[in-house]
Amino acid sequence: MSVFSETVDWLTDSTHWSGDDGIPHRLIEHVGYTAETVAIASVIAIPLGLWIGHTGRFRTLAVALTGAMRALPTLGLLTGIVLFTGIGLTPALIALVVLAIPPLLAGAYSGLESVDRQTIDAARAIGMTEWQILTKVEIPLALSLIVGGVRSATLQVVATATVAAFVSLGGLGRYIIDGQAVRDYPQMAAGSVVVVALALVLDGIFAGLQRLALRSRPSLVPTSA
Amino acid sequence: MIEYRSIGKTFADGTEAVGDFSLQLPSRTTTVLVGSSGCGKTTLLRMVNRMVDPSRGQVLIDDVDIATRNKVELRRSIGYVMQHAGLLPHRKVIDNVATVLRLNGVGKKEAHNRAHAVLETVGLDSSLANRYPSQLSGGQQQRVGVARGLVTDPNILLMDEPFGAVDPIVRDELQQELLRLQRELDKTIVFVTHDIDEAFLLGDQVVILKKGAEVAQVGSPADILAKPANDFVRSFVGLDKGHRKLHVEDRDGTRIVVDETGKATGVLAE
Amino acid sequence: MTWLFDNFDYVWSLTVRHVWLSAVPIVLGFVIALPIGWYANRHPRLRGTLLSAGSILYTIPSLPLFVIIPGIVGLGILSPLNVVIALTIYAVAIMVRSASDAFGSVSPAVLDSASAAGFSPVQRAFRVELPLAGPVLLAGLRVVSVSTVSLVSVGSLIGVNSLGSLFTDGYNRNFMTEIVIGVGATVVVALFFDLVLVVLGRVLLPWASASRPVRSTVTPMMSFAQHLRGGRV
C-alpha cells in the first residue's frame, strides 16, 4: 500500500528527526506534559481517593462524579478552558489535569475497597492507629490497583495531550493537527504511529509495575495458635 | 420400574465413582440411596435422567435402555429436584413451575393453570406465584422446586438431597409433605441423602452405599435395623453408638424409652 | 442562549449525527463481543489471550486510531466510517471482557438444573444463560456508551462532523457559547443513551430489580472502574 510506504518514508526521513519539529523533541515534549499532568493530578486525586476509600465517606458522590466526568467530552473541555483562560501551556495543563483526576481517584478508592475488611479489623484490634493501618496495611495491599489507576491516567493523558495540539500545545499531536491543515496524510499517520508506540510502551511498563506491586504484597496471615 | 444393570462410571480424570452397581427399583415406591459424601449416590441418581452417562452397563426404565432415548425428551419426562432448588432466578415462580410444560409446547394459559394446581398440592399459597424466587424463603423455594418436578405428572421423581439446605424445622415439614404427596400421588421416587434418619423416614427401600457405590445393604428400614448385614452398616446406622438400642424404664408410673447411654428419647405409647 | 435558538437546526442536525455515530459502534460492539466473550468464558486459556488483545487495543489513543484506520482500510480520511470502525474496536475491547465476566457470573447450579428440567443446549443458552448474564452485560454497555459518546467529538478534528464540530468551530471563532452548548449537548446525549439502557434493563431484566437493592448493578460497574479507571480520549 502506498500509504503505508509513504508513512514509512516519512518516518525514516532524517530531517524529521532533528530540530524543534523533529520526532525526538516532540516526543520529549509529549512525555513531559504527561509526566507533569500525572504528577499534579496524582497529588490531588490519590490522597483524596485514599481518604474516601479509608473512611468510606462521600463514596457515592465520588462514584457519581467519576462517572459524570467520563461523560464530559475532552475536546470540549480543552477548548473551553483554553478559550476561557487563554492560549498557553498552563490552561491546557489545567484541562489535562482535570481529565486525569477520575482514573486516579477511582484507582485509589477502589484499591482500598479491595482490601479485605477483616484484615483491617484485625489490624485495628491489635492496636494500630488509623494512619498506621493506612500506610502499613491498606496501601501495600491496594498498591496494584492504585498503580493501575496511575496507568490508566497516564494513557488517558497521552491521548488527551495528543488532542491538545489543537489548542496549540506541542507534543506529538502537532503532526496530526499540522498535517491535517496541509493535507499531509503521511505526516499525520507517522505522528499517530509514534503516539501509539509511546502508549503501548508506557502501558507495558505500567503492566510490569502492577505485577511487581502484586507480587510484593505483604500477606498478612493471622498467627494461629 | 427403574433398573441399574452392572453400572460402572469412571470419570475423565480417572476417578471411579461407581464400580459395579445393580439394582431394581420397583415402581410407585420410594428408594433412598444413602451414604457419605463422595460415595457415588448422586452420580447414580443423575444416570436416570442422563445428566451422567454410565461408562459400563445400562440403565433401563420400564425395560427400555435409556441410552437409546433422546436426552432432552427423557429429562422432560422426569421430575428432578436438587438441593438449592435450582430455580431460574429470572423467571417468576409460576413460570418456573410451568417451565417443562412450556418446553413441551403447552399453551401459556393451560400451563399456568396446571402450575397453580401443583403449587397448591405442595402447600404453597397462590399469592407467591407472581414473585421471583429471590423473594421467597428457602423452604418455599424448595417447595417450588418440588412443584416444578411434579407439574408434568411424571412417573419418576429424582430428588438430590433436596432438604439439605434448609433448617431442621423446615426440613421436618418438607419431609412430612413428601410423605403425604407420595400417599396421594404414588410416584416412583429416587431420593439421595447422607442422613440415615431421613432415609429411614422416607424410604420404602433403603440402599446403603460405600465408596464406589458399593452396596453395603439393601432393604426396608425395618429389615436393616433388625438384621444389619455387616459392621459398616451397623456403624453407619448407629447401632453401635447406642442411641438405637432402646429399652423401657419406669419413672413414677410413666414408662420412658431410654437409649443405651441412658438418655431419654421418648415415651412408650399406652 | 439566543444563539442556540437561532442555530437550533444546525445544532440539532449535529446532535442527530452524533447519536448515529455513537449508536452504531455501541450496537455493533455488543453484537460482535457477545459470542467472543461467551467463548472466552468457556475456554479459560483463550480468555487470557482475548482479554490481553482487547486491553492492548483499548490502549491505543483515539485520535491516532482515527488517523491510522483510513490508511489500513483504504477509505478517504474524511469518511465517518473511520470513526465508526475505531469506536467499534474500542467497544468490542471493553465488551469482550464484560461479556466474559457476565457469562462467568451465571450460576452453574442453575444451568445444571435447566438442563435437568429439559432445556436443549440451544434453548438453555438463549433462554437461561443469556438473560442471567444480562445485568453484568448491561453494566458493561453503560460504560461503553458513555465512553463512545464522549469519543465521537474527537472525530471533528479530522473533519468528521458531530457535536465536536461545535468545539472546533467555537474555538476557531473565539466563541465560548458554542463550546458550552456543545458540552451540554454531548452530556445530554450521553445521559439519553444511559437512560435508554437503564430502561431496557428494567424491561428486559425485571427480576434484577425485584428484591435486591440497586447496588447489584453498581458493583459490576465499579469493578469495571477498576479495569478502566477513567474515560478515554
Whether C118 sits inside 8 A of B103 (CB atoms) is yes
pLDDT score recorded for residue C77: 65
Residue of A nearest to C218 (CA): A63
pLDDT score recorded for residue C215: 35
Residue of A nearest to C149 (CA): A71
pLDDT score recorded for residue A219: 56
Provide the grid cell at A106: 477511582
Dihedral of alpha carbons B119, B125, B130, B134, sign: negative
Whether B51 sits inside 8 A of C116 (CB atoms) is yes
pLDDT score recorded for residue C231: 45
Quote the DSSP letter at residue B49. Answer: T
Nearest to C113 among B82, B92, B103 (CB): B82
Chain C residues touching residue A214 (CB < 8 angstroms): none
Q: What is d(CA A192, CA C164) in angstroms, rounded to the nearest whole number? A: 20
Chains C and B touch (3+ CB pairs under 8 A): yes
B205 with B218: CB under 8 angstroms? yes
Nearest to B90 among C112, C115, C132 (CB): C132
Q: Which helix H or strand E contains C202, and what residues bound it?
A: helix C176-204
Q: What is d(CA A83, CA A91) in angstroms, rounded to the nearest whole number? A: 9
Secondary structure (3-state) at B258 = strand
State the CATH class of domain B2-237.
alpha beta
pLDDT score recorded for residue B85: 67
Quick check: B154 contacting C, CB < 8 Å?
Answer: no
Mean pLDDT of A74-82: 89
Q: What is d(CA B265, CA A134) in angstroms, rounded to the nearest whole number? A: 57
Q: Domain spans of chain B?
A: 2-237, 240-270
pLDDT score recorded for residue A72: 87
Q: Alpha carbon of A40 to those of A72, A101, A102, A139, C4: distances in Å?
A: 20, 9, 13, 20, 36
All structural domains of chain A: 30-174+191-215 (1.10.3720.10)
A199-210 pLDDT, tens digit each = 999 999 998 888
Residues 6+ apart with CB under 8 A from A126: none
**Ranges of chain B with pLDDT below 50:** none
C110-121 pLDDT, tens digit each = 999 999 988 999
Whether C171 sits inside 8 A of A100 (CB atoms) is no
Chain C residues touching residue A70 (CB < 8 angstroms): 146-147, 150, 230-231
- Predicted complex ipTM exceeds 0.90: no
Q: Cβ of A119: how many Cβ atoms within 10 Å?
A: 17
Nearest to C150 among A66, A74, A192 (CB): A74
Quick check: B171 contacting C, CB < 8 Å?
Answer: no
The third-level CATH classification (topology) of the domain covering C2-228 is: MetI-like fold (1.10.3720)
Quick check: C112 contacting B, CB < 8 Å?
Answer: yes
Q: What is d(CA B242, CA B265) in angstroms, rounded to the nearest whole number? A: 12
Secondary structure (3-state) at B155 = coil
Provide the whole-model pTM. Answer: 0.77
Whether A114 sits inside 8 A of C225 (CB atoms) is no
Q: Which amino acid is at C120?
A: S
Chain C neighbors (3+ CB pairs < 8 Å): A, B
Q: CB-based burial of residue A31 (10 Å sphere; 0-12 exposed, 13-18 middle, 19+ buried)? A: middle
Whether C132 sits inside 8 A of B82 (CB atoms) is no
pLDDT tier at C216 (50, 70, 90 boundaries)?
very low
Q: Alpha carbon of C27 to those of B22, B170, C230: distances in Å?
A: 56, 48, 22
Secondary structure (3-state) at B164 = coil
Provide the grid cell at B215: 452396596
Q: Domain spans of chain C?
A: 2-228
Query: Could you write out the DSSP letters of every residue in chain A?
Result: -HHHHHHHHHHH-GGGGSSTTSHHHHHHHHHHHHHHHHHHHHHHHHHHHHHHHHH-TTHHHHHHHHHHHHHS-HHHHHHHHHHHH-SSHHHHHHHHHHHHHHHHHHHHHHHHHTS-HHHHHHHHHTT--HHHIIIIIIHHHHHHHHHHHHHHHHHHHHHHHHHGGGGT--STHHHHHHHHHTT-HHHHHHHHHHHHHHHHHHHHHHHHHHHHHHHTPPP-PPPP-
